[in-house]
C-alpha cells in the first residue's frame, strides 16, 4: 500500500505496539500531526507544555512499562528542547525513541529557518541516531530504531525526518513486530570462574543496580541472594528492585547510602555487582573502594566490565538469564559469621538515623505519605535533597515504582516523568517529591497534569533553598551561601489552584495529616506545599571521593 512518510511513521508505531506518544507540534512535523489527528484512535498523543516535559514523560512512561517511550518534536528549538531529556535517558539506560522533524532535504545545510543538526547534537547522548533522506528507508529505519533502543542495554535513539520525507510516498509493507532477538549464550568459562569465586567467598555482597529493574530480575535476585546467603545493597537506580522489608536488603550504597550497606560493601570479600555501573556517587574514592575484595561483575554491556572498578570476572548477559543459570548451578551456601555481622550492622544506631520528631521534617512527610500510598503506587522525584530523602525513607516494595534521575541528576525531571509514569500505568496513584528549586524549573507541566486529570500528588519539600547545594556550601564552603537562598515569593498552593489543580500548604505534622486525608481523595492533581527547615541535611554523607572512613553521620 502506498503511504506518505508521516503515515508510515504511524503504521510503524502501531506495529511496534506504541499506543501513547508525547510531544509538541510545529512547522516541520505538521504532516505527522495531521496523521496523528486521523489516527487518534490508534495512537494517543499527549501534548505537554514544553518538549523537555514531553521527553521526561516518555522516559517516565518507559521506566514504568519497560516499553520504549516515544516523543515527537518539531525541528530547531523543538528538537533542541529534547536534549536534556535524551541525555537523561541515555545516562539511565532508558529505552526512548525521539522523532524530530527537520527542514526538507534540499534546505538542509543552509541554516534554513528552524534548522539544526540534531543528529550531530545528540550523537554523544544517544545509543544511535538517524536522519532519513530516502523515503524507502523510513520504515526499516524506524523499526531498527526500536530494536536498538530496547535491545541489549537500553537507551535513547533519535530519528530525524525531513519534511519532504514525511510528504513523499512509497509502498509500505507491514510486518508483525519482530520477535525479540534470542538472548545470546553466557560464556561458559566466565560462568565457571564466577561459580568458583562465589564458592570461595566467605563474605559475599550483592550490589544491585538499575539493570535488575530493567531486566525484571527482582525475584531471581532474591533467590540468588538466598542461595549464596548474601546481603543486598542497591544503587539508587536499583532501589525498587528489592522490597524494603526484605531482611537481606541493606538499602542504598554510596554517598548518601545507608551506613550498613556502605559498611558491608567495604567489608565484604566479594562484590557481586548485578546490572550496576559503579557510578562515582556510589563508590566514592575508587582506589579505596576497590581495595580488599574481588569483584564479579554481571552486566549486559561488556563495556561496563572494568570500566570504573576492575572486575576479577565479568559475566556478560541479561541479568535475569545469568542469575537463573547461577541459581541452578550453585549449591546452597551459609555464611553464619558474616550474616551475624550484617544483622549487627543493620541494628547499629548509625544505620537508623532519625530526624527530629517534633518538627515537620522531610522524613516525617515521606513516611506519612508512604502510609497512604498503595504498594505499587508510583514515586517520582526531582533532584536534590528531597530526592535523597525519598531514596532513604520511602519503603519501595514494587519494581519500576521509583522514577528518579540517576545518572544525569536532572532538576526538572520530576513533573514530566511523574506524568509519563502515571499515564503508563493507566493513571495509577502517583506522588512526586520535589522542592522549590526543581519545581520552579518545569512547573509549567502542572497544566498538562490537570488537562489529563492525573491522580498526581505533588509534594513540595519546600526549604526555600537549593538545599543540596546549600548543604555542600555549609560543609565545604564555610556557609557562603552563594545563590542558593532564593527569596522567591511563589505561593505554591495558590499557583496550583490557578493551574486548575488543588493546592494545600502545611507547616506542622498535624496539618499534614489533615491535608493528606483530603488530598488522597482527589483523583486529579494536588499540590502540597510543605514548609521545612532550610538546614535539614541529607545524612549520612560520604564527602565526594571519600570512603566509609569519612562518613558524616551527624
Partner 1 sequence: MANQQIIVSLLVNNHFGVLTRISGLFSRRCFNIESLTVGETENSKISRMTIVTYGDEYVKDQIVKQLSKQVDVKTVQIMDPANTVVRELVIVKIASKKSERTEILEAVNAFRANVIDFSTNSISVELTGEISKIDAFIEYVSSYGIIEMCRTGSTAIGRNGYCLTEKKKTIKGGK
Ligand X SMILES: Cc1ncc(C[n+]2csc(CCOP(=O)(O)OP(=O)(O)O)c2C)c(N)n1
Catalytic residues: 51, 113-114, 163, 468
Choices 301-309, 364-372, 398-406, 511-519 (CB under 8 A): range interacting with partner 1 = 301-309
Counting contacts by CB under 6 A, is residue 411 touching ligand X? yes
- Secondary structure element (H or E) that encloses residue 31, with its range: helix 30-38
Counting contacts by CB under 8 A, is residue 307 touching partner 1? yes
Closest contact distance (angstroms) between CB of 397 and ligand X is 24
Strand partners, 4: 169
Which cell numbers in the block locate residue 330?
A: 550453585
Q: CA of 74: how far to CAs of 107, 141, 195, 393, 424, in Å?
A: 15, 19, 52, 40, 23
Choose which of 436, 445, 529, 536 interacts with Mg ion (CB under 5 A). Answer: 436
Whether the CB-CB separation of 313 and 194 falls below 8 Å is answered with yes
Number of shown-chain residues binding partner 1 (CB under 8 A) = 25
DSSP reduced 3-state for 460: strand
CA distance 499 to 450: 7
Counting contacts by CB under 8 A, is residue 97 touching partner 1? no
* Residue 99 contact partner, candidates partner 1, Mg ion, ligand X, none, CB within 5 to 8 A by sort of partner: none
Counting contacts by CB under 8 A, is residue 306 touching partner 1? yes
Counting contacts by CB under 6 A, is residue 473 touching ligand X? no
Counting contacts by CB under 8 A, is residue 217 touching partner 1? no
Phi, psi of 317 (to 5 degrees): 160, 175
Q: CA of 267: how far to CAs of 94, 264, 288, 341, 551, in Å?
A: 32, 5, 11, 10, 15
Closest contact distance (angstroms) between CB of 463 and ligand X is 5
Counting contacts by CB under 5 A, is residue 435 touching Mg ion? yes
Q: Decide whether 16 or 392 has the Cβ nearer to ligand X.
A: 392
* Residue 314 contact partner, candidates ligand X, Mg ion, partner 1, none, CB within 5 to 8 A by sort of partner: partner 1
Q: Decide whether 145 or 261 has the Cβ nearer to partner 1.
A: 145
Counting contacts by CB under 5 A, is residue 15 touching Mg ion? no
Q: Decide whether 138 or 538 has the Cβ nearer to ligand X.
A: 538
Closest contact distance (angstroms) between CB of 301 and partner 1 is 7
Choose which of 35, 262, 313, 404 interacts with partner 1 (CB under 8 A). Answer: 313
Counting contacts by CB under 6 A, is residue 170 touching ligand X? no
Helix axes 30-38, 5-15, angle to 10 degrees: 50
Choose which of 410, 430, 448, 505 interacts with ligand X (CB under 6 A). Answer: 410
Q: Give me Rg for the CA atoms of the chain.
A: 24
Which cell numbers in the block locate residue 308?
A: 570504573
Choose which of 94, 158, 311, 391 interacts with partner 1 (CB under 8 A). Answer: 311
Choices 249-257, 302-310, 509-517, 522-530 (CB under 8 A): range interacting with partner 1 = 302-310
Q: CA of 37: how far to CAs of 34, 71, 105, 139, 544, in Å?
A: 5, 16, 25, 20, 51
Q: Annotate each residue in 128-167 with x if it binds partner 1 (CB under 8 A) or - if it does not, as one string.
A: x-------------------x-------------------
CA distance 305 to 322: 15
Counting contacts by CB under 6 A, is residue 436 touching ligand X? yes
Counting contacts by CB under 6 A, is residue 168 touching ligand X? no
Sequence-ordered list of residues with C-beta below 8 angstroms from that of 512, at least 6 positions apart, any chain? 360, 364, 365, 368, 506, 528, 530
Counting contacts by CB under 8 A, is residue 127 touching partner 1? yes
Whether the CB-CB separation of 46 and 447 falls below 8 Å is answered with no
Q: Decide whether 165 or 366 has the Cβ nearer to ligand X.
A: 366
Q: How many whole angstroms from its chain centre is CA 159?
A: 22
Region of residue 470 (left: phi > 0; alpha: psi -120 to 50; beta: else):
alpha
Residues of this chain, 373-402, that bind ligand X according to CB under 6 A? 382-386
Counting contacts by CB under 5 A, is residue 467 touching Mg ion? yes
Choices 21-29, 64-72, 123-131, 257-265 (CB under 8 A): range interacting with partner 1 = 123-131
Q: Kindly report the number of other CB atoms within 10 A of residue 74's CB atom.
A: 24
Closest contact distance (angstroms) between CB of 486 and Mg ion is 8
Whether the CB-CB separation of 213 and 62 falls below 8 Å is answered with no
Give the residue from 399, 461, 377 showing the smallest Cα distance to 234.
399
Choose which of 77, 310, 374, 544 interacts with partner 1 (CB under 8 A). Answer: 310
Which cell numbers in the block locate residue 320?
A: 535475569
Strand partners, 162: 102
Q: Kindly report the number of other CB atoms within 10 A of residue 26's CB atom.
A: 21
Choices 228-236, 303-311, 338-346, 409-417 (CB under 8 A): range interacting with partner 1 = 303-311
Residues of this chain, 437-456, that bind Mg ion according to CB under 5 A? 437
Question: What's 191's DSSP letter?
Answer: H
Contact residues toward partner 1 (CB under 8 A) are 119-120, 123-124, 127-128, 148, 187, 190, 193, 297, 299, 301-303, 305-307, 310-316
Q: Which residues are at the interface with ligand X (CB under 6 A)?
A: 382-386, 409-412, 435-438, 461, 463, 465-469
The residue ranges that bind Mg ion (CB under 5 A) are 435-437, 463, 467
Amino acid at each position: 500500500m502506498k503511504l506518505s512518510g508521516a503515515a508510515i511513521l504511524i503504521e510503524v508505531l502501531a506495529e511496534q505496539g506504541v499506543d501513547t506518544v508525547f510531544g509538541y507540534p510545529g512547522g516541520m512535523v505538521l504532516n505527522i500531526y495531521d496523521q496523528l489527528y486521523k489516527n487518534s484512535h490508534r495512537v494517543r498523543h499527549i501534548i505537554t507544555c514544553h518538549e523537555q516535559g514531553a521527553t521526561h514523560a516518555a522516559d517516565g512512561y518507559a521506566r514504568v512499562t519497560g516499553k520504549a517511550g516515544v516523543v515527537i518534536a518539531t525541528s530547531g528549538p523543538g528538537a533542541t528542547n529534547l536534549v536534556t531529556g535524551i541525555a537523561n535517558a541515555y545516562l539511565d539506560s532508558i529505552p526512548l525513541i525521539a522523532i524530530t522533524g527537520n527542514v526538507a532535504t534540499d534546505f538542509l545545510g543552509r541554516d534554513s529557518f528552524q534548522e539544526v543538526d540534531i543528529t550531530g547534537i545528540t550523537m554523544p547522548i544517544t545509543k544511535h541516531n538517524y536522519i532519513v533522506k530516502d523515503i524507502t528507508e523510513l520504515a526499516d529505519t524506524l523499526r531498527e530504531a526500536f530494536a536498538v533502543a530496547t535491545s541489549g542495554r537500553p537507551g535513547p535513539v533519535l530519528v530525524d525526518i525531513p519534511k519532504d520525507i514525511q510528504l513523499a510516498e512509497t509502498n509500505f509493507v507491514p510486518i508483525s513486530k519482530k520477535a525479540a532477538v534470542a538472548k545470546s549464550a553466557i560464556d561458559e568459562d566466565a560462568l565457571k570462574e564466577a561459580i568458583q569465586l562465589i564458592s570461595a567467598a566467605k563474605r559475599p555482597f550483592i550490589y544491585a543496580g538499575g539493570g535488575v529493574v530493567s531486566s525484571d530480575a527482582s525475584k531471581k535476585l532474591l533467590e540468588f541472594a538466598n542461595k549464596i546467603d548474601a546481603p543486598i545493597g542497591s544503587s539508587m537506580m536499583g532501589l525498587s528492585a528489592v522490597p524494603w522489608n526484605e531482611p537481606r536488603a541493606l538499602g542504598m550504597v554510596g554517598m548518601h547510602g545507608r551506613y550498613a550497606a556502605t559498611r558491608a560493601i567495604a567489608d565484604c570479600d566479594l562484590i557481586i555487582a548485578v546490572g550496576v555501573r559503579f557510578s562515582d556517587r556510589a563508590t566514592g574514592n575508587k582506589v579505596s573502594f576497590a581495595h580488599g575484595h574481588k569483584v564479579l561483575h554481571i552486566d549486559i554491556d561488556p563495556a561496563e566490565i572494568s570500566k570504573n572498578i576492575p572486575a576479577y570476572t565479568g559475566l556478560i548477559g541479561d541479568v535475569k538469564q545469568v542469575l537463573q543459570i547461577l541459581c541452578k548451578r550453585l549449591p546452597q551456601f551459609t555464611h553464619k559469621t558474616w550474616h551475624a555481622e550484617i544483622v549487627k550492622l543493620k541494628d547499629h544506631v548509625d544505620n537508623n538515623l532519625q530526624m527530629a520528631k517534633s518538627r515537620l521534617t522531610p522524613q516525617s512527610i515521606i513516611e506519612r505519605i508512604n502510609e497512604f500510598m498503595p504498594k505499587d503506587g508510583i514515586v517520582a522525584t526531582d533532584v536534590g535533597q528531597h530526592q535523597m530523602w525519598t531514596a532513604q525513607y520511602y519503603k519501595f516494595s514494587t519494581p519500576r515504582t521509583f522514577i528518579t534521575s540517576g545518572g544525569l541528576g536532572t532538576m526538572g525531571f520530576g513533573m514530566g516523568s511523574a506524568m509519563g509514569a502515571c499515564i503508563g500505568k493507566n493513571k495509577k496513584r502517583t506522588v512526586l517529591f520535589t522542592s522549590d528549586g526543581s519545581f520552579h524549573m518545569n512547573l509549567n507541566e502542572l497544566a498538562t497534569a490537570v488537562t489529563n486529570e492525573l491522580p498526581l500528588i505533588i509534594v513540595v519539600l519546600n526549604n526555600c533553598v537549593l538545599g543540596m547545594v546549600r548543604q555542600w556550601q555549609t560543609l565545604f564552603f564555610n556557609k557562603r551561601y552563594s545563590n542558593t537562598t532564593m527569596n522567591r515569593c511563589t505561593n505554591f498552593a495558590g499557583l496550583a489552584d490557578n493551574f486548575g489543580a488543588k493546592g494545600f500548604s502545611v507547616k506542622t505534622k498535624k496539618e499534614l495529616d489533615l491535608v493528606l486525608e483530603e488530598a488522597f481523595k482527589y483523583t486529579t492533581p494536588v499540590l502540597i506545599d510543605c514548609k521545612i527547615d532550610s538546614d535539614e541535611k541529607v545524612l549520612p554523607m560520604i564527602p565526594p571521593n571519600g570512603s566509609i572512613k569519612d562518613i558524616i553521620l551527624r
